[in-house]
Structure 1
Amino acid sequence: MINQFTDNQNGEEKRAFIPAQLRIGEVCINFPVVPAPMAGVTDKPYRDIVRQFGVELTFTEMVSSEALIRKNCKTFELFNTAREEWPLVVQIFGSKPDVLANAAKIVENEGAAIIDINAGCPVKKIVRQGAGAALLKTPNTLANIITEVKRTVKLPVTLKIRSGWDKNTINAVEISKLAEDSGIDAITLHPRTATQLFGGHADWNIIKQVRKHVKLPVIGNGDIKTPEDVLRMFKSTGCHAIMIGRASIGNPWIFEQIRTFFIKNEYQKPGLEEIELTGITHFEKVLEFYGPRGLPYAKTVLIRYVKYLPKARESRNTIYSLNSPEDIVRFWGEYFSWLKRRRNQQQLEEENIESNCS
């Protein structure tokens, strides 16, 4: 299926709203749309997949600074392929300036391209530590963290924030100016408050305000579900780049669709064949990376690809019930064979209807 946008703008007019590049320190990308760091999602298999669809800059899941300095092996697994994946952004979280600085040095030594400080995660177990979005309530601590990390590493350091802790403390502009004064190299803003979690709407006007008050690159994030949304955010906020989170889960095609949309004013949704191949490829990459212990997670990854397909619930239950990769691969093929037969039958019926009406 081809989606066409009817704003009467051609590709050249659209490109007028899109920055030609995103440059952060020595890192420069020509496609200023990036996937968000997401816990339980943006591991190496995910990053490998989205790069196939045009992504140039990827982010890790958030990495605990405390676990890093304790040399936790599973924590290193989150980014120990940084050199082969360059440019890779490693996002770290914590509340202690010295610990975050030491963690940043470890990340730098492992070959990361950029270090991102998480000051936006609203999850309770993170904010209880004074980390994530809790740092929006302690701007002096956040400034000390940025200063200490910048003093310790030579890499570019970026910051991800929310609009504020709650609706009564919207301070994204103040935090952004403070971060700029402390030496930060770029800011990503998800304009929801921490207490909103993912409810309500992202207030893109706050991105616009931050863009007006700082000179460094501003990356917009929040409520991006389609290529059309990307265009609207660029036009309405003037941001330098856009970050896509939940909309890319089980939908890596969104990045390729955006590229195509800005050139041709249209984009195609993936067909069954592409969903089948990409889903099982992602599944196999998870198993290759994690080994047998990765099977439960690999099932979850696979299920994300069928969320909007017919009999999604039944296929999900079947995948969860199977205990071997071979059985899952076999079922996957059978499921998509059924979907394709169903599609072909529907197409035949539509052709017969058109023939009878002509």
Structure 2
Amino acid sequence: MKVMRRLRLRRGDAVAALLGCVLVAMYVSIAAAHPTPVLCAQAALSLGFVPALALWRTRVVPAAGALLGLLAAWCLAFIVATPANTGFPPYLVAAPMAVYSLTRHAPDRRLAWGALLACAAAAPASPLMWELRGPDDLRYRSGDSLLGFLALHWALLGVAFLWALHRRGEQRRREREHEAARKNERLLIAREIHDVLAHNLTLINVQSSAGIIGARTDPQAAVAALGTVRDVSAEALAQVRGIVAALRAPGAPAAEPEGPATLAEIVEGFRGLGLAVRADYPADLLSHLPAQHALAVRRITAEALTNVLRHQRAGTTVDYRLSEDASSLALTVESVGAPRSLASAASTPGLPAGCGTGLV
């Protein structure tokens, strides 16, 4: 196992290499029994196929080159030995294997096309183009037999090439889907952080600015503002912890982030920041809604009131209405007040001009 891990062998490639070792033993034993030059050459060539088979999908280009080179040398030895029969080698599968691996894995598509055309051109020299007509009497095929076996070679090469193209396309499609999923996850996380933190950060910003101003004239107001900052920041921290916990547990149902349990808490919080909120909604409306729907209502409410606080002056009157019918909820937020200009926003401590992210 350590050797396989070091060489990064795939299980199927290891099996192919083991079969190659079995063939080595067979051809070496044949050469030992009949030590002719051709049989000895074939025994030596069989040794070279073992590492090439082991690495044909991990070291694609050198392994494919070795497979095709060894196969060409084997075919040459076979032709030299004719009309004597040295056997039809199983190594003929090396040609479609090389075409497949180069088409499937090689970064340069020209290598795949080159291997395909070279193998197609060399098909007439394949040992299968000879037929055995008697003991040690190999004859080159002719007529329909020749055309049939030539078409068979080309068909196998074409199937290997097209199947590799299909697999390569599938892999690229999966990679694109994976990248799109990653982008969607990042977008969802960004939206979640915005929904959870945007209004809390606005409250902290406003209250800290009020505390700075109040510290000069009204220490009690400054203490109250700092208390609000503490409470809101603790709430924001709890919500961030909820998001992180959900991200750390893939596959687990996302827990609802901690936060205001009722609309009344949200509305009262913004009233404390200077908005004159006139609220009209059933007090128990959220209690019978699904958790995700209730969370959406609270977040939309907080986002809408945050935008009023962000873009209009303190003292702005806000009409907040939430109603329900048999199939839907209707939420209306209307504000009446002078809009805050960019210049005044930039000049007001703690309220810099927006940057387009939905955060202060």
User: What TM-score results when the alignment is normalised by the length of structure 2?
Assistant: 0.24
Richer in strand (by share): 1
Structure with max Cα Rg: 2
